[in-house]
Amino acid sequence: MQITVKLFATFREGRFSVEGREYPEGTRIAVILSELNIPEQQIGMIMVNARHAEPDQELHDGDTLAIFPLVGGG
């Protein structure tokens, strides 16, 4: 299945901004996070198609996955 993966801020470094990627049907978000080497403790929010998502959620063909790092300074 085709998943559009969007990375924000520092997560782009050494990776990419947005990419269409191929995954087996039913792949969970956590698998993609570990494939991309994104440590879970650096993540602020995960969204799938504008909805809030958790790492154990399964993805479906055509989904857009967006991963945001924690930004907390003032």
Binding residues for another protein, rule: CB under 8 A, are 8-10, 17, 40-47, 49-52, 66, 68-74
Phi and psi based region of residue 14 (left: phi greater than 0; alpha: psi -120 to 50; beta: remaining): left
The span from the CA of 9 to the CA of 38, in Å, is: 13
Q: Residue 40 or residue 58: which is nearer to another protein going by CB? A: 40
CB of 74 to another protein, least distance (A): 4
Q: Residue 13 or residue 61: which is nearer to another protein going by CB? A: 13
What are residue 50's DSSP bridge partners? none
Residue 48 tokens read as: 């799938």
Q: Residue 2 or residue 18: which is nearer to another protein going by CB? A: 18
